[in-house]
Amino acid sequence: MFTKNFKINLSVFALIVVCHVSLHSESKDTKTANPDPKNQTQSTGEEAEGFFTFTDHSDNQTSMEIFNKVYEHRLMLRGGWGVGKLSPAILNETSQAWFLNSILRQISEPGTALAIPYKDSKDLDVNSQFMDIRYGYLNKYEIQYAIDTTLGVYSRNLPASNNFFSPRSDTYWGSTFEGNRLLRFQGVSEHFRFSYTHPVSKIWMIGPSINFHRYTETNNISYGSYSTSRPEAAVPNKVTWSIGGDANAEYSMRGIVPGIYSKWKLRDWWEVRARFELLDRRGNFSVIGSQIISERFDDGREQITGVLPAYGGKVRDRGTILNLESSFQYCRFTLDFGIIRQDIRRKYETYLGDTIGSVPRNDYSARSVGIGFSEMSSSIKHTVTEVYIMPSVSFFYDADGVY
């Protein structure tokens, strides 16, 4: 669905560009058929000016420094929906972290089975909701408050998990198991932006922006594990299986995000906007929940036991946010089509925690033990790509009153 919608948006944009080039070519042919010294001078100047010559088009004669051809002030209310793809850090960190953790456990807990990743999760579908309020003065100064929500809910038939292989050892038979599964993802971004765009020409404005940013992320995850002890083990032929449970991994971060904001007025009714921001946010995270483990013994006995995974520490996200938007205006109403791409690297500055319970630790794979050296040893990829549509309504004001 995401790919289809994205291709449709690109096709519509290409059609608009092709139509404009065609119309522009017809206009140039008319000037050639009816030579006039004044027109010939103007045409030469336009060709020297560049590719599309939007500046002197008959439908693009109003300066960008006012709204709707008349007004100095604008209040805009927008809301919309989107679809996208998510590559979540909570899963991307699992393969490397669990493998290194299982190696480190050989030191403190000899005989623990290794967890070697053999299948990672794929990009996941998400749905998005957008809302923002903007106030602009002279189309140069802008204040924006925006809330963007990215939501994904996943089930067993979706590739939202990491799978592991545990090789045969002196104590355990070889096995495969699902280590970590993402059941639900929700990321909420709040933006409080101040922007200034300076007119470079009649159709192009560019300038700096500053974004006071807050981000919260909630991941509902489950842990898996499976092992079978060999007859030579202290407890022979014991099957230990994680049969259920879930945990909430929650992140809360803030940051001040600088950026560059640019606007192009291709027609009086058509504007293209672009914003590029350098993301740097940091804060806290916590993971707490339950893991239900079944232990089946050689004599046929079976018992169900619960263990408690609990972790926390400091986290930091660094990366970029790119937003491209095509905006079509009619009177006070606007329809915006856009794409947002977030490329983030997540790093744990502090990672502490353990899985607490009565089940022998050698019999199941834990997320981390004590200090998460493996989690803190590298940065983890987190990417979100979303396409959206946002209708809006504007209210304009000048000395004559409100429109």
Is 318:280 a contact under the CB 8 Å cutoff? yes
Smallest CA-to-CA distance from 98 within 180, 171, 7, 203 is with 180
172: DSSP letter? B
Alpha-carbon distance 66 to 69, whole Å? 6
Q: What DSSP element (H or E) covers 113?
A: none
Topology of domain 67-402 in CATH is Lipocalin (2.40.128)
Alpha-carbon distance 354 to 375, whole Å? 13
Alpha-carbon distance 363 to 183, whole Å? 25
Match 């929700």 to its residue by tokens.
186
Alpha-carbon distance 197 to 132, whole Å? 19
List per-residue pLDDT tens for the chain, 403 residues long.
444 444 444 443 443 433 343 434 434 343 334 444 334 434 444 443 444 555 555 555 566 777 767 788 999 999 999 999 999 999 999 988 989 988 888 887 887 888 999 888 889 999 999 999 999 998 899 999 999 999 999 987 777 999 999 999 889 999 999 888 999 999 999 999 999 999 998 889 999 999 999 999 999 999 989 999 999 888 999 999 998 889 999 999 999 999 999 999 998 899 999 999 999 999 999 999 999 999 999 988 999 999 999 999 999 999 999 999 999 999 899 999 999 999 999 999 999 999 999 898 888 888 888 899 989 998 999 999 999 999 999 999 887 777 7
Q: Which pair of tokens denotes residue 125? A: 């579908």
Match 């280590």 to its residue by tokens.
179
End-to-end CA gap in the chain: 39
| Residue spans per domain, the chain | 1-53, 67-402
Q: Which pair of tokens denotes residue 79? A: 């809301």
Q: Which pair of tokens denotes residue 250? A: 């929650």
Match 């403190």 to its residue by tokens.
108
Q: E strands, 110-203, where?
A: 116-119, 124-137, 141-153, 161-166, 175-196, 198-199
Smallest CA-to-CA distance from 266 within 27, 53, 71 is with 53
Q: Supply the pLDDT for residue 48.
A: 39
Helix (H, G, I), strand (E, B) or coil at 354: strand
Q: Which pair of tokens denotes residue 55? A: 């500046």
Q: Supply the pLDDT for residue 57.
A: 55
Q: Supply the pLDDT for residue 327.
A: 97
Q: What DSSP element (H or E) covers 39?
A: helix 37-49
Query: What CA–CA distances, in Å, run from 301 to 225, 233, 295, 304, 349?
Result: 19, 17, 8, 10, 44
Alpha-carbon distance 216 to 231, whole Å? 48
Phi, psi of 32 (to 5 degrees): -70, -40
66: DSSP letter? S
Q: Cα-atom radius of gyration of the chain, to the nearest Å?
A: 29
Smallest CA-to-CA distance from 253 within 346, 322, 321 is with 346
Find the farthest-apart pair of alpha carbons in the chain and give their distance in angstroms, rounded: 104
Smallest CA-to-CA distance from 188 within 149, 161, 134 is with 149
Alpha-carbon distance 192 to 232, whole Å? 63
Give the count of beta carbons closer than 10 Å to the beta carbon of residue 160. 24
Angle at 247 between CA 287 and CA 156, to 5 degrees: 135
pTM over 0.85: no
367 alpha-carbon distance from chain centroid: 24
Smallest CA-to-CA distance from 129 within 193, 84, 184 is with 84
Q: Supply the pLDDT for residue 188.
A: 98
